[in-house]
Amino acid sequence: MLFLAVFAGFLAENWREHYNEHRRSQQLAVSLKNDLKEDTAVLVSLSYVRNNRTDFLDKLLNELDKPLALQNDTILVFAENELLRRSYFVPNAGTYDQIKQAGFLRYFNKDIGKALVSYESHRNLSSIQLDIENKFVLENIVVLLSKLANQKFLRHCQMGDTIHVNEPLIKKDPALLSELYGNIRFLQSRNRIYLNSVEELFRLAQEVINRLNEKYNL
- Element (DSSP H or E) covering residue 54: helix 2-65
Using CA atoms, how far apart are residues 75 and 186, in angstroms rounded to an integer? 19
Average pLDDT value for residue range 15-36 = 77
DSSP string, 128-163: HHHHHHHHHIIIIIHHHHHHHB-HHHHHHHHHT---
Q: Give the list of residues 6+ apart from residue 140 with CB closer than 8 angstroms, or none.
A: 183
pLDDT category, 5, cuts 50, 70, 90?
very low
Q: Give the domain ranges of the chain.
A: 2-216
- Name the residue type at position 205: A
Whether 211 and 111 have beta carbons less than 8 Å apart is answered as: yes
Taking a C-beta distance cutoff of 8 angstroms, is the pair 207, 115 a contact?
yes
What does the pLDDT read at residue 214? 94
Could you give the C-alpha distances from 177 to 9, 56, 186, in angstroms and in order? 81, 17, 14
State the pTM of this model. 0.83
Instruction: Output 210-216 pairs: Cβ under 8 A, ≥24 positions apart.
Output: 211/111, 211/112, 211/115, 212/29, 212/32, 212/33, 212/112, 213/33, 215/29, 215/108, 215/109, 215/112, 216/25, 216/26, 216/29, 216/30
pLDDT per residue over 107-165, tens digit each?
889 999 999 999 999 999 999 999 999 999 999 998 998 888 877 776 766 666 666 66
Residues ≥6 apart with Cβ < 8 Å to 108: 25, 29, 116, 215
